[in-house]
Structure 1
Amino acid sequence: MNRRRWLASASGVALLGAGAGCSHSPDLPDDIRPTRDPALWPFASDSPWNTPLGDGARYAAIRSPGFDPTAGARINTRQWSHPVFIAEADDPTVALHLLGQSRPVRVQRVPPRARPDPMADGSLLLIDVPRRSVVELWRAERVGPDRIVAEAIAVNALTGPGMGSTWQGIRASGGSALGGLIRQGELEHGLAHVLALAVPPQALNRLGPQGRAWVWPAASADDGDGRRYGTVGNLHLGSLLALPPDLAVDTLGLEAGPETVLARALQDFGACVTDTVRVGGPVAFQAEPAVHDSAARIRPEALRTLVERLQVVVNHAPGRAGGGGRRRAPPAPAFRER
């Protein structure tokens, strides 16, 4: 798995770590301006996945009889995770087929070690050699060195929004499974994007304000209509949750490192509800398997402390992502040219 490069390609200027409260990037000459690799930090700078919270955000306590913050949380790294593999030019060519179809949806280079998550969803994310698109497979199975079969396949541009008005990913919410995913190195060096969070289905209200079982930026729900969700409360599939800005994170008893990195991300960017976990289970942050060792350093009591303090950002909406106003963090830098 490729490591995330945290320094600008030509200058050594750090991409992250500028601290909260910055509303814009410094005016730098073009030759030393930070850039990013879309395979490691995807989606447009104005994507809902990359938009920091603003001082116009309005917060409300979570009102959901099915949401139990005392149940804590986990970070999915070894089970129900989203393995990510980035192809190189010398990797073998593999045909990607929908189950039961002889004609492939796509043929591209895939690392020989690429395997789906072992659980029932069988998630597998394959980034192409140009590092400009990701093929997302659900219930995937590698049936040979040159063939992978899946029950659902979606293709998303790494430089696009990572979401749309209809289903275009392999999550219940319909967005790209790369959106909000915790990637290798981020729990050490900083999380500069919205996180993806899964909650028990009974915690969600399927009677959304627009008459749908989801709210923006989600575009679909489990079973299409969220029939397993509840019918009360202010928690919906697609809701943005965050630590309120007046919460002093340094008073929570968190250990320096991954615990405080996660807390800062939840306060500066928040977490979008993108999927569901088993009934009665703890909520789960979504990650790639390469995050496992770093995630293991976060104590269960620290995760519970953070979840207990999450609130709903009630004015997160199109044209006003993160509530609008002065942003708590700089925008995502431009993409690196290849």
Structure 2
Amino acid sequence: MAGIFVGLIVASSFAFLTVHPDRFTFVSLTPNTLGGNNPAASGRDPLVWPFSRDSIWNLPIGSNARYVWGGIRHATSMAYFTDADILVLEPSAPATTVYANSDDWGAGTRCSAQGGALFTAPIPADFVVPGSHQGSPDGDTPNAAAAILAADGHTIIQTQPFARCGGQSPTSHYMFRSEDLYGTGETGSHGGSGLSALGGTVRLGELVPGGTIRHSLKLNIDSANFYPGFGGYRWPAWKSDAGGAGYGGSIPEVRMGSLLAPKADFPTNTLETEPGKILAAAFRDYGGYIVDTS
């Protein structure tokens, strides 16, 4: 299972899902430990539904959750883009070396190896991820947060921004702490928050007629909404953007890592499309963590 998955919804889309701006809220909760650190033990395929039952990505919002007004600003313009996560979950694929490239979000293409080997991991030989300024549908300089499952079937290697231009070796730059596919999986390669690229993604078979999303989601929100104090982040995030000191929000609860959700009484049946209802139900039941800026 290797692919580029849309794991994030831009702020304007989430505002649409909530319909009524007075229902757009922030949830503050401390998860209860449910036990059971093996997703396979509960009949789940960890490649499709990863991480343990007590992972932040799998915990529903409890009945005692405390909701705080989020004050997310209305969008003043609209644009379509995706912040796609790159997931390579093929532990039996050929061992492939990923090389250092520091083009990042500048004028370079990310295509060529500029330094030594960063790591070696199983990656299918035909798996291509366009670099910067290569006509990617995800923009000229996509964030390209990647999660790659190692040959042991447990270790998730996490890096950003990942690229593999046609006919060339894969490249990346920033490395993040590894996680276990069977563990809690909080941290990862979203550079704005340090949260997971694998957790919170919309997966195949979920956003389809009759589908259900049984996990939390991820959000990119305009940094004008983020409170700059306390480092600009809160658990489960462990960092904020390099420009975090310039965040423009005034509500202390709204920072990188905050969990956003409509209240439990949000009428999802009033939405007009089935995809909207599926996403709204997931946001209501599980919420969406802020992982990056838009």
Partner residue of 2:133? none
Please say if residues 138 and 170 of structure 1, whose CA atoms lie closer than 8 Å, have aligned partners that are also in contact: yes
Q: How many residues align?
A: 235
Give me the whole-angstrom Cα distance separating, in 2, the residues matched to 1:172 and 1:238: 9
Shift of 1:170: 3.2
> TM-score normalized by structure 2?
0.70
- Say if 2:192 is the partner of 1:175: no
Q: What amino acid sits opposite 1:200 in the alignment?
A: D
Shift of 1:130: 4.3
| 1:259-303 Cα distance to aligned partner (Å, 9 max, x none) | 2211111111011111111xxxxxxxxxxxxxxxxxxxxxxxxxx
The 1:130–1:37 alpha-carbon spacing in structure 2 relative to 1, beyond 3 Å, is farther
Partner residue of 1:205? 227
Please say if residues 91 and 153 of structure 2, whose CA atoms lie closer than 8 Å, have aligned partners that are also in contact: no
Give me the whole-angstrom Cα distance separating, in 2, the residues matched to 1:169 and 1:33: 27
Give me the whole-angstrom Cα distance separating, in 1, the residues matched to 2:152 and 2:96: 16
The two structures, once aligned, show a CA RMSD in angstroms of 3.0
Q: Secondary structure at the match of 2:277?
A: helix
The 1:253–1:141 alpha-carbon spacing in structure 2 relative to 1, beyond 3 Å, is closer
Higher strand proportion: 2
Partner residue of 2:280? 263
Please say if residues 112 and 145 of structure 1, whose CA atoms lie closer than 8 Å, have aligned partners that are also in contact: no
Give me the whole-angstrom Cα distance separating, in 1, the residues matched to 2:235 and 2:192: 13
The 1:191–1:93 alpha-carbon spacing in structure 2 relative to 1, beyond 3 Å, is same
Structure with more relative contact order (C-alpha pairs < 8 Å, separation 6 or more)? 1
1:44 aligns with one of 15, 35, 52: 52
Q: Secondary structure at the match of 1:212?
A: helix
- Structure 1 outlier segments of 4+, above 6 Å: none
Partner residue of 1:222? 241
Please say if residues 93 and 110 of structure 1, whose CA atoms lie closer than 8 Å, have aligned partners that are also in contact: yes
Give me the whole-angstrom Cα distance separating, in 1, the residues matched to 2:75 and 2:284: 17
Q: Secondary structure at the match of 1:241?
A: strand
Please say if residues 39 and 131 of structure 1, whose CA atoms lie closer than 8 Å, have aligned partners that are also in contact: no
Q: Secondary structure at the match of 1:205?
A: coil
Please say if residues 144 and 160 of structure 2, whose CA atoms lie closer than 8 Å, have aligned partners that are also in contact: yes
Q: Secondary structure at the match of 2:85?
A: coil
| 1:35-55 Cα distance to aligned partner (Å, 9 max, x none) | 112222112211111110011
The 1:107–1:33 alpha-carbon spacing in structure 2 relative to 1, beyond 3 Å, is closer
The 1:59–1:170 alpha-carbon spacing in structure 2 relative to 1, beyond 3 Å, is closer
Give me the whole-angstrom Cα distance separating, in 2, the residues matched to 1:241 and 1:70: 20
Give me the whole-angstrom Cα distance separating, in 1, the residues matched to 2:213 and 2:118: 33
| 1:227-282 Cα distance to aligned partner (Å, 9 max, x none) | 331141242111111111122222x2333x322211111111011111111xxxxx
The 1:72–1:242 alpha-carbon spacing in structure 2 relative to 1, beyond 3 Å, is farther
The 1:113–1:126 alpha-carbon spacing in structure 2 relative to 1, beyond 3 Å, is farther
Q: What amino acid sits opposite 1:261 in the alignment?
A: I
1:59 aligns with one of 67, 80, 104: 67
Partner residue of 1:160? 183
Unaligned runs of 5+ in 1: 4-24, 26-31, 278-338
Give me the whole-angstrom Cα distance separating, in 2, the residues matched to 1:73 and 1:190: 27
Shift of 1:221: 0.5
- Say if 2:45 is the partner of 1:68: no
Please say if residues 205 and 213 of structure 1, whose CA atoms lie closer than 8 Å, have aligned partners that are also in contact: yes
Give me the whole-angstrom Cα distance separating, in 1, the residues matched to 2:239 and 2:115: 25
Shift of 1:187: 1.2
| 1:37-95 Cα distance to aligned partner (Å, 9 max, x none) | 2222112211111110011012132225xx21676796x6xx43113232252x33211
2:99 aligns with one of 65, 89, 97: 97
**% same residue:** 26
Unaligned runs of 5+ in 2: 4-33, 35-39, 102-113, 131-135
